[in-house]
A = this chain, B = another copy of it.
Protein backbone atom coordinates (compact mmCIF):
# COMPACT_ATOMS: atom_id res chain seq x y z
CA UNK A 1 0.00 0.00 0.00
CA UNK A 2 2.82 2.34 0.96
CA UNK A 3 5.34 0.64 -1.25
CA UNK A 4 7.26 3.85 -1.93
CA UNK A 5 7.51 4.70 1.76
CA UNK A 6 9.30 2.89 4.56
CA UNK A 7 6.94 0.40 6.17
CA UNK A 8 4.87 1.35 9.20
CA UNK A 9 6.72 -0.13 12.17
CA UNK A 10 4.37 -1.96 14.53
CA UNK A 11 5.09 -2.98 18.10
CA UNK A 12 3.03 -6.08 18.91
CA UNK A 13 2.27 -6.79 22.57
CA UNK A 14 0.98 -10.33 22.98
CA UNK A 15 1.42 -13.35 20.74
CA UNK A 16 -1.53 -15.57 21.63
CA UNK A 17 -4.31 -16.58 19.26
CA UNK A 18 -5.10 -13.03 18.10
CA UNK A 19 -1.49 -11.82 18.06
CA UNK A 20 -0.38 -14.75 15.94
CA UNK A 21 -3.36 -14.39 13.64
CA UNK A 22 -2.56 -10.72 13.11
CA UNK A 23 1.14 -11.42 12.58
CA UNK A 24 0.37 -14.15 10.07
CA UNK A 25 -1.93 -11.95 7.96
CA UNK A 26 0.62 -9.13 7.92
CA UNK A 27 3.42 -11.51 6.91
CA UNK A 28 1.36 -12.87 4.03
CA UNK A 29 0.69 -9.41 2.60
CA UNK A 30 3.97 -7.52 2.25
CA UNK A 31 2.26 -5.15 -0.18
CA UNK A 32 0.43 -3.56 2.75
CA UNK A 33 3.63 -1.79 3.76
CA UNK A 34 3.46 -2.92 7.38
CA UNK A 35 6.25 -4.41 9.46
CA UNK A 36 5.85 -6.09 12.83
CA UNK A 37 9.11 -4.62 14.09
CA UNK A 38 9.01 -5.88 17.66
CA UNK A 39 6.95 -8.45 19.57
CA UNK A 40 6.65 -8.51 23.36
CA UNK A 41 5.48 -11.57 25.27
CA UNK A 42 5.34 -12.40 28.96
CA UNK A 43 6.87 -15.85 29.27
CA UNK A 44 10.47 -16.46 28.06
CA UNK A 45 10.02 -20.24 28.35
CA UNK A 46 6.70 -20.89 26.55
CA UNK A 47 7.22 -22.65 23.18
CA UNK A 48 6.43 -20.33 20.28
CA UNK A 49 6.11 -20.48 16.52
CA UNK A 50 8.93 -17.93 16.01
CA UNK A 51 12.54 -18.04 17.24
CA UNK A 52 13.13 -16.68 20.75
CA UNK A 53 15.34 -13.91 19.34
CA UNK A 54 12.23 -12.43 17.73
CA UNK A 55 10.70 -11.62 21.12
CA UNK A 56 11.17 -9.07 23.83
CA UNK A 57 10.07 -10.20 27.28
CA UNK A 58 9.43 -6.73 28.62
CA UNK A 59 6.57 -4.84 26.99
CA UNK A 60 7.98 -1.63 28.46
CA UNK A 61 10.85 -1.86 25.98
CA UNK A 62 8.29 -1.34 23.22
CA UNK A 63 6.80 1.64 25.06
CA UNK A 64 10.30 3.11 25.29
CA UNK A 65 11.07 2.56 21.60
CA UNK A 66 10.50 5.78 19.64
CA UNK A 67 11.03 3.89 16.39
CA UNK A 68 7.66 2.19 16.64
CA UNK A 69 4.91 4.00 14.75
CA UNK A 70 2.00 2.13 16.28
CA UNK A 71 1.36 -0.33 19.11
CA UNK A 72 -0.97 -3.34 18.96
CA UNK A 73 -2.00 -4.63 22.39
CA UNK A 74 -3.45 -8.15 22.41
CA UNK A 75 -2.31 -9.56 25.75
CA UNK A 76 -4.50 -11.57 28.08
CA UNK A 77 -4.24 -9.61 31.33
CA UNK A 78 -6.64 -6.62 31.53
CA UNK A 79 -4.75 -4.85 34.33
CA UNK A 80 -1.42 -5.04 32.53
CA UNK A 81 -3.13 -4.11 29.25
CA UNK A 82 -4.56 -0.99 30.89
CA UNK A 83 -1.14 -0.05 32.21
CA UNK A 84 0.45 -0.44 28.78
CA UNK A 85 -2.30 1.21 26.74
CA UNK A 86 -2.62 4.03 29.26
CA UNK A 87 1.13 4.66 29.17
CA UNK A 88 1.16 4.57 25.38
CA UNK A 89 -1.70 7.08 25.16
CA UNK A 90 0.10 9.36 27.61
CA UNK A 91 2.93 9.37 25.08
CA UNK A 92 0.40 10.42 22.42
CA UNK A 93 0.89 7.10 20.64
CA UNK A 94 -1.41 5.34 18.20
CA UNK A 95 -2.73 2.15 19.75
CA UNK A 96 -4.94 -0.72 18.58
CA UNK A 97 -6.28 -3.09 21.24
CA UNK A 98 -8.60 -6.09 21.37
CA UNK A 99 -8.91 -6.21 25.17
CA UNK A 100 -12.64 -5.92 25.88
CA UNK A 101 -12.43 -6.48 29.66
CA UNK A 102 -9.90 -3.66 29.93
CA UNK A 103 -11.89 -1.34 27.68
CA UNK A 104 -15.20 -1.97 29.47
CA UNK A 105 -13.65 -0.98 32.76
CA UNK A 106 -11.48 1.95 31.66
CA UNK A 107 -13.07 3.44 28.56
CA UNK A 108 -13.81 6.91 30.03
CA UNK A 109 -10.19 7.33 31.12
CA UNK A 110 -8.79 5.99 27.85
CA UNK A 111 -10.99 8.28 25.77
CA UNK A 112 -9.88 11.20 27.90
CA UNK A 113 -6.20 10.27 27.55
CA UNK A 114 -6.59 10.02 23.80
CA UNK A 115 -8.07 13.51 23.66
CA UNK A 116 -5.57 15.01 26.13
CA UNK A 117 -2.38 13.71 24.53
CA UNK A 118 -3.46 13.58 20.89
CA UNK A 119 -2.98 9.84 20.40
CA UNK A 120 -5.41 7.38 18.91
CA UNK A 121 -7.14 4.27 20.19
CA UNK A 122 -9.14 1.88 18.03
CA UNK A 123 -10.55 -1.47 19.18
CA UNK A 124 -12.80 -3.07 16.55
CA UNK A 125 -11.48 -6.55 17.36
CA UNK A 126 -12.66 -6.22 20.97
CA UNK A 127 -16.31 -6.73 20.01
CA UNK A 128 -17.60 -9.57 17.86
CA UNK A 129 -14.27 -10.50 16.29
CA UNK A 130 -14.51 -9.97 12.56
CA UNK A 131 -17.76 -7.97 12.52
CA UNK A 132 -17.23 -4.21 11.94
CA UNK A 133 -19.79 -3.25 14.55
CA UNK A 134 -17.94 -0.48 16.40
CA UNK A 135 -17.07 1.48 13.29
CA UNK A 136 -20.61 0.95 12.02
CA UNK A 137 -22.11 2.34 15.22
CA UNK A 138 -19.54 5.09 15.62
CA UNK A 139 -19.09 6.24 12.05
CA UNK A 140 -22.24 5.23 10.21
CA UNK A 141 -24.99 5.43 12.84
CA UNK A 142 -23.48 8.46 14.60
CA UNK A 143 -26.61 10.45 13.73
CA UNK A 144 -29.16 7.67 14.13
CA UNK A 145 -31.42 7.38 17.15
CA UNK A 146 -31.11 3.68 18.02
CA UNK A 147 -33.77 1.59 19.69
CA UNK A 148 -31.41 -1.26 20.47
CA UNK A 149 -28.12 -2.96 19.73
CA UNK A 150 -28.22 -6.59 20.73
CA UNK A 151 -26.97 -9.96 19.71
CA UNK A 152 -24.71 -12.90 20.23
CA UNK A 153 -21.38 -11.40 21.24
CA UNK A 154 -19.57 -14.47 22.57
CA UNK A 155 -18.42 -17.14 20.14
CA UNK A 156 -17.34 -19.76 22.64
CA UNK A 157 -20.54 -19.94 24.66
CA UNK A 158 -22.46 -19.93 21.38
CA UNK A 159 -20.27 -22.79 20.17
CA UNK A 160 -21.11 -24.72 23.33
CA UNK A 161 -24.83 -24.07 22.93
CA UNK A 162 -24.76 -25.09 19.27
CA UNK A 163 -22.92 -28.32 20.01
CA UNK A 164 -25.30 -29.14 22.84
CA UNK A 165 -28.21 -28.62 20.48
CA UNK A 166 -26.70 -30.69 17.69
CA UNK A 167 -25.41 -33.56 19.76
CA UNK A 168 -27.74 -33.57 22.71
CA UNK A 169 -24.49 -33.58 24.63
CA UNK A 170 -24.06 -32.05 28.04
CA UNK A 171 -22.30 -28.84 29.00
CA UNK A 172 -18.94 -30.29 30.07
CA UNK A 173 -18.02 -32.11 26.82
CA UNK A 174 -19.24 -29.21 24.68
CA UNK A 175 -17.09 -26.75 26.66
CA UNK A 176 -14.06 -29.02 26.33
CA UNK A 177 -14.62 -29.10 22.57
CA UNK A 178 -14.86 -25.30 22.36
CA UNK A 179 -11.59 -25.01 24.27
CA UNK A 180 -9.92 -27.55 22.02
CA UNK A 181 -11.05 -25.51 19.00
CA UNK A 182 -9.34 -22.42 20.44
CA UNK A 183 -12.57 -20.44 20.74
CA UNK A 184 -12.50 -19.97 24.51
CA UNK A 185 -10.72 -17.38 26.66
CA UNK A 186 -7.95 -18.65 28.94
CA UNK A 187 -10.42 -18.33 31.81
CA UNK A 188 -13.64 -20.07 30.65
CA UNK A 189 -15.68 -18.21 33.30
CA UNK A 190 -15.31 -15.02 31.21
CA UNK A 191 -17.13 -16.68 28.32
CA UNK A 192 -19.50 -19.07 30.07
CA UNK A 193 -20.32 -16.66 32.88
CA UNK A 194 -21.21 -13.98 30.33
CA UNK A 195 -18.60 -11.53 31.58
CA UNK A 196 -17.10 -11.31 28.10
CA UNK A 197 -20.35 -10.37 26.30
CA UNK A 198 -21.12 -7.99 29.18
CA UNK A 199 -17.85 -6.14 28.49
CA UNK A 200 -18.78 -5.97 24.82
CA UNK A 201 -22.24 -4.56 25.56
CA UNK A 202 -20.61 -1.89 27.73
CA UNK A 203 -18.25 -0.94 24.89
CA UNK A 204 -21.08 -0.78 22.34
CA UNK A 205 -23.14 1.40 24.71
CA UNK A 206 -20.43 4.08 24.47
CA UNK A 207 -20.83 4.22 20.68
CA UNK A 208 -24.55 3.50 20.36
CA UNK A 209 -25.73 5.86 23.10
CA UNK A 210 -22.72 7.80 24.32
CA UNK A 211 -22.93 6.31 27.81
CA UNK A 212 -20.14 4.73 29.85
CA UNK A 213 -21.61 1.90 31.89
CA UNK A 214 -20.04 0.17 34.86
CA UNK A 215 -19.79 -3.50 33.82
CA UNK A 216 -20.36 -4.58 37.44
CA UNK A 217 -23.76 -2.91 37.39
CA UNK A 218 -24.89 -4.72 34.25
CA UNK A 219 -26.83 -7.92 34.87
CA UNK A 220 -24.98 -10.81 33.29
CA UNK A 221 -26.17 -14.38 33.61
CA UNK A 222 -24.16 -17.20 32.07
CA UNK A 223 -24.62 -20.79 31.03
CA UNK A 224 -22.51 -22.62 33.60
CA UNK A 225 -25.67 -24.18 35.01
CA UNK A 226 -27.11 -25.29 31.67
CA UNK A 227 -27.88 -28.92 30.93
CA UNK A 228 -29.23 -31.00 28.08
CA UNK A 229 -32.64 -30.73 29.78
CA UNK A 230 -32.74 -26.97 29.13
CA UNK A 231 -31.87 -27.35 25.47
CA UNK A 232 -34.57 -30.01 25.17
CA UNK A 233 -37.11 -27.81 26.97
CA UNK A 234 -36.48 -25.01 24.47
CA UNK A 235 -36.53 -27.40 21.52
CA UNK A 236 -39.99 -28.64 22.48
CA UNK A 237 -41.17 -25.04 22.04
CA UNK A 238 -39.39 -24.76 18.70
CA UNK A 239 -36.78 -22.51 20.27
CA UNK A 240 -33.08 -22.37 20.96
CA UNK A 241 -31.20 -20.95 23.93
CA UNK A 242 -28.73 -18.20 23.03
CA UNK A 243 -26.75 -15.83 25.23
CA UNK A 244 -28.13 -12.46 24.16
CA UNK A 245 -26.33 -9.27 25.16
CA UNK A 246 -27.83 -5.91 24.43
CA UNK A 247 -28.20 -2.22 25.06
CA UNK A 248 -31.73 -0.89 24.73
CA UNK A 249 -33.47 2.45 24.87
CA UNK A 250 -36.51 2.28 27.17
CA UNK A 251 -39.73 4.11 26.27
CA UNK A 252 -38.86 6.83 28.79
CA UNK A 253 -35.62 7.53 26.89
CA UNK A 254 -33.26 5.93 29.39
CA UNK A 255 -30.81 3.27 28.29
CA UNK A 256 -30.42 -0.15 29.84
CA UNK A 257 -28.13 -3.10 29.23
CA UNK A 258 -28.25 -6.76 30.10
CA UNK A 259 -26.82 -10.13 29.15
CA UNK A 260 -28.75 -13.33 29.73
CA UNK A 261 -29.40 -16.67 28.14
CA UNK A 262 -32.62 -16.19 26.18
CA UNK A 263 -35.06 -18.47 24.42
CA UNK A 264 -35.43 -17.46 20.78
CA UNK A 265 -37.62 -18.74 17.96
CA UNK A 266 -36.80 -18.89 14.24
CA UNK A 267 -38.29 -15.42 13.67
CA UNK A 268 -35.20 -13.92 15.33
CA UNK A 269 -32.18 -13.49 13.04
CA UNK A 270 -30.09 -14.63 16.02
CA UNK A 271 -31.72 -18.09 15.88
CA UNK A 272 -29.56 -19.04 12.90
CA UNK A 273 -26.28 -17.71 14.35
CA UNK A 274 -24.42 -20.88 15.23
CA UNK A 275 -21.05 -22.06 16.56
CA UNK A 276 -18.37 -19.40 16.91
CA UNK A 277 -20.33 -16.95 14.77
CA UNK A 278 -21.60 -13.73 16.29
CA UNK A 279 -24.61 -11.71 15.20
CA UNK A 280 -25.56 -8.11 15.89
CA UNK A 281 -29.02 -6.65 15.48
CA UNK A 282 -29.24 -2.86 15.28
CA UNK A 283 -32.68 -1.26 15.43
CA UNK A 284 -32.37 2.24 14.04
CA UNK A 285 -35.05 4.90 13.86
CA UNK A 286 -34.53 5.83 10.20
CA UNK A 287 -32.33 3.13 8.71
CA UNK A 288 -34.54 0.36 10.07
CA UNK A 289 -33.28 -2.97 11.31
CA UNK A 290 -29.74 -3.94 10.42
CA UNK A 291 -28.26 -7.36 11.01
CA UNK A 292 -24.58 -8.25 10.82
CA UNK A 293 -23.18 -11.75 11.15
CA UNK A 294 -19.60 -12.95 11.11
CA UNK A 295 -16.96 -14.92 12.95
CA UNK A 296 -16.72 -13.81 16.55
CA UNK A 297 -13.54 -15.65 17.45
CA UNK A 298 -10.44 -17.23 15.99
CA UNK A 299 -6.96 -15.92 15.23
CA UNK A 300 -7.44 -14.95 11.61
CA UNK A 301 -10.89 -13.32 11.88
CA UNK A 302 -9.93 -11.33 14.97
CA UNK A 303 -6.44 -10.64 13.62
CA UNK A 304 -8.06 -9.32 10.45
CA UNK A 305 -10.10 -6.85 12.52
CA UNK A 306 -6.91 -5.73 14.29
CA UNK A 307 -5.27 -5.20 10.92
CA UNK A 308 -8.25 -3.18 9.68
CA UNK A 309 -7.80 -0.92 12.71
CA UNK A 310 -4.07 -0.56 12.09
CA UNK A 311 -4.76 0.61 8.53
CA UNK A 312 -7.55 2.88 9.76
CA UNK A 313 -5.30 4.50 12.39
CA UNK A 314 -2.74 5.03 9.64
CA UNK A 315 -5.39 6.88 7.59
CA UNK A 316 -6.16 9.10 10.57
CA UNK A 317 -9.43 7.47 11.60
CA UNK A 318 -10.53 8.17 15.19
CA UNK A 319 -13.77 7.21 16.91
CA UNK A 320 -16.08 10.19 17.18
CA UNK A 321 -18.28 9.12 20.13
CA UNK A 322 -20.84 11.53 18.65
CA UNK A 323 -23.67 10.35 20.89
CA UNK A 324 -21.83 11.55 24.00
CA UNK A 325 -23.00 15.08 23.24
CA UNK A 326 -26.55 14.06 24.09
CA UNK A 327 -25.99 11.02 26.25
CA UNK A 328 -29.22 9.79 27.86
CA UNK A 329 -29.66 8.68 31.46
CA UNK A 330 -29.19 5.00 32.19
CA UNK A 331 -31.27 2.51 34.15
CA UNK A 332 -29.58 -0.83 34.50
CA UNK A 333 -31.85 -3.03 36.62
CA UNK A 334 -33.97 -0.98 39.01
CA UNK A 335 -37.68 -1.26 38.27
CA UNK A 336 -37.23 -3.64 35.34
CA UNK A 337 -38.60 -7.16 35.11
CA UNK A 338 -38.93 -9.99 32.61
CA UNK A 339 -40.29 -13.49 32.34
CA UNK A 340 -37.65 -16.03 33.24
CA UNK A 341 -37.12 -19.78 33.15
CA UNK A 342 -35.16 -21.28 36.06
CA UNK A 343 -34.02 -24.85 36.54
CA UNK A 344 -32.02 -26.79 39.07
CA UNK A 345 -31.52 -30.49 39.59
CA UNK A 346 -32.76 -30.20 43.19
CA UNK A 347 -36.21 -28.76 43.84
CA UNK A 348 -35.18 -27.41 47.24
CA UNK A 349 -32.34 -25.41 45.70
CA UNK A 350 -34.72 -23.95 43.15
CA UNK A 351 -37.12 -23.03 45.96
CA UNK A 352 -34.28 -21.33 47.82
CA UNK A 353 -33.48 -19.39 44.66
CA UNK A 354 -37.08 -18.28 44.24
CA UNK A 355 -37.21 -17.11 47.86
CA UNK A 356 -34.15 -14.96 47.30
CA UNK A 357 -35.48 -13.63 44.01
CA UNK A 358 -38.92 -12.98 45.49
CA UNK A 359 -40.28 -13.62 42.02
CA UNK A 360 -43.71 -14.62 40.89
CA UNK A 361 -42.22 -17.83 39.53
CA UNK A 362 -43.90 -21.12 40.29
CA UNK A 363 -42.34 -24.53 40.11
CA UNK A 364 -44.11 -26.02 37.15
CA UNK A 365 -42.80 -29.53 37.19
CA UNK A 366 -40.48 -31.76 39.12
CA UNK A 367 -38.84 -34.59 37.30
CA UNK A 368 -35.90 -36.75 38.26
CA UNK A 369 -34.31 -36.38 34.87
CA UNK A 370 -34.19 -32.63 34.53
CA UNK A 371 -34.81 -31.45 38.06
CA UNK A 372 -37.20 -28.66 38.91
CA UNK A 373 -38.26 -25.93 36.52
CA UNK A 374 -39.82 -22.60 37.43
CA UNK A 375 -41.29 -19.92 35.20
CA UNK A 376 -42.34 -16.45 36.18
CA UNK A 377 -41.71 -12.75 36.43
CA UNK A 378 -38.44 -11.81 38.15
CA UNK A 379 -37.06 -8.36 38.93
CA UNK A 380 -33.72 -7.73 37.22
CA UNK A 381 -32.42 -6.01 40.36
CA UNK A 382 -32.98 -9.23 42.36
CA UNK A 383 -31.18 -11.32 39.78
CA UNK A 384 -28.32 -8.85 39.83
CA UNK A 385 -28.20 -8.91 43.63
CA UNK A 386 -28.12 -12.71 43.79
CA UNK A 387 -26.25 -13.57 40.64
CA UNK A 388 -23.18 -14.88 42.47
CA UNK A 389 -25.38 -17.09 44.65
CA UNK A 390 -27.26 -18.38 41.60
CA UNK A 391 -23.99 -19.13 39.82
CA UNK A 392 -22.51 -20.89 42.85
CA UNK A 393 -25.68 -22.92 43.35
CA UNK A 394 -25.74 -23.91 39.67
CA UNK A 395 -29.22 -22.56 38.96
CA UNK A 396 -29.74 -22.05 35.25
CA UNK A 397 -31.66 -18.89 34.42
CA UNK A 398 -32.89 -17.87 30.95
CA UNK A 399 -35.01 -15.00 29.78
CA UNK A 400 -38.26 -15.90 28.04
CA UNK A 401 -39.25 -12.51 26.71
CA UNK A 402 -38.86 -8.79 26.65
CA UNK A 403 -37.75 -6.65 29.55
CA UNK A 404 -40.59 -4.62 31.04
CA UNK A 405 -40.71 -1.57 33.22
CA UNK A 406 -42.59 -2.64 36.34
CA UNK A 407 -45.48 -0.42 37.36
CA UNK A 408 -44.60 0.83 40.88
CA UNK A 409 -47.87 -0.36 42.42
CA UNK A 410 -47.43 -4.02 41.68
CA UNK A 411 -45.50 -6.58 39.79
CA UNK A 412 -48.59 -8.17 38.29
CA UNK A 413 -49.34 -5.02 36.31
CA UNK A 414 -45.99 -5.02 34.59
CA UNK A 415 -46.03 -3.16 31.29
CA UNK A 416 -44.30 -4.58 28.26
CA UNK A 417 -41.74 -2.36 26.62
CA UNK A 418 -40.45 -2.75 23.13
CA UNK A 419 -36.98 -4.25 23.49
Contact = CB atoms under 8 A, between A and B. Distances in A.
A286 B311 contact: no
A323 to B, nearest CB: 10
Interface residues of A, number: 49
Nearest to A310: B143
Given A286-B304, A294-B291, A311 B31 contact: no
Interface string A1-42: 101000000000000000001000100010110000000000
Given A294-B288, A295-B287, A298-B288, A139 B304 contact: no
B305 A287 contact: yes
Contacts of A415: none
A271 to B, nearest CB: 10
A294 B287 contact: yes
A290 B286 CA distance: 23
B300 A289 contact: no
A295 B288 contact: yes
A308 B25 CA distance: 31
Contacts of A269: 272, 293
Given A135-B139, A289-B295, A284 B304 contact: yes
A272 B124 CA distance: 28
Contacts of A295: 287-289
A144 interface: yes
A44 interface: no
A82 interface: no
Contacts of A159: none
A315 interface: yes
A95 B311 CA distance: 25
A320 B142 CA distance: 21
Interface string A303-338: 111011001100111001010011000000000000
23 contacts: A21-B286, A25-B143, A130-B284, A130-B287, A130-B288, A136-B136, A139-B317, A140-B312, A142-B311, A144-B308, A269-B272, A269-B293, A284-B304, A287-B304, A287-B305, A288-B295, A289-B295, A290-B293, A290-B294, A291-B291, A291-B294, A292-B292, A316-B316
Given A21-B286, A287-B304, A290-B293, 7 more contacts: A25-B143, A130-B288, A132-B136, A144-B308, A286-B307, A289-B295, A292-B292
The 5 residue pairs across chains A and B that have the minimum distance between CB atoms: A286-B304, A130-B287, A288-B295, A287-B304, A290-B294
